[in-house]
Amino acid sequence: MDLALGGKTVLVTGGAKGIGEAIVRELAAEGAVPVILDQDEEAGRSLRDELSAASHRCELVVGKLGEPDACRMSVETGTAEEFLLSLRRNVLHYFEMAHFALPFLREAKGAIVNISSKVAVTGQGGTSGYAASKGGILALTREWAIDLLPHEVRVNAVIPSEVITPQYGSWLNTFPNPQEKLEKIVQNIPLGRRMTTAEEVAAMVVFLLSDRAGHVTGQYLFVDGGYVHLDRAST
């Protein structure tokens, strides 16, 4: 599908692996210019070089997104301590990225798509910092959507639930029988009894970035096979 993203620059935080990587690939396929922001230099370079070899424009900025300088550079090219660290790791860089990119977003009448998590709306237990961060992302989505209305900058959020990524695979491997654990999880996913793919999340993100979603702002879009909202009796 031609989403008219050709030549448009899109910053993708955490773009070297997992959902971020899938978003970068989808953007490149649409002719956009993805800028990968990631601390994993090896993975980022590998993805950038692969796309460049296929004649796709792609840039890479290596840095920790918890550090304001890394956010600024990318635009221009259980205890209380753990709770605060989770906030910095998972939500503060969203604010910093939007802050530094704002002049460019206003000029281009661009769009922001935040990635949250089902934990923000369901809870999980034992993850207060993470839940607060992902909930904060949803709150910022609505706040920015209002703030940026005069500039015609749209702001939306995508909420995945169970997505197969390298990080998720590593978590599964902490169990004695990873395959058994996976089978138990997918039984709670109504549509198809399967995990959501990173590519399915990426497709929604890229659509929201495009003019095809030109009158969509301040929305939370769940890409989860009905995991959060469909009655558990359906599983």
Q: Which of 122, 131, 152, 157 is nearest to 142 (CA)?
A: 157
Beta pairing class for 111-115 and 9-13: unpaired
Say if residues 84 and 130 touch (Cβ distance below 8 Å): no
Annotated catalytic residue, options 94, 130, 220, 227? 130
- Rounded distance between C-alpha atoms, residue 64 and residue 44, angstroms: 13
- Rounded distance between C-alpha atoms, residue 83 and residue 194, angstroms: 32
- Rounded distance between C-alpha atoms, residue 154 and residue 212, angstroms: 12
Q: Interior CA angle at 9 toward 206 and 93, to 5°?
A: 80
Say if residues 22 and 201 touch (Cβ distance below 8 Å): yes
- Rounded distance between C-alpha atoms, residue 88 and residue 202, angstroms: 24
Residue 168 annotated among the catalytic residues of the structure: no
- Rounded distance between C-alpha atoms, residue 181 and residue 106, angstroms: 46
The DSSP output letter for 233 is G
- Residues annotated as catalytic (active site), given as ranges: 130
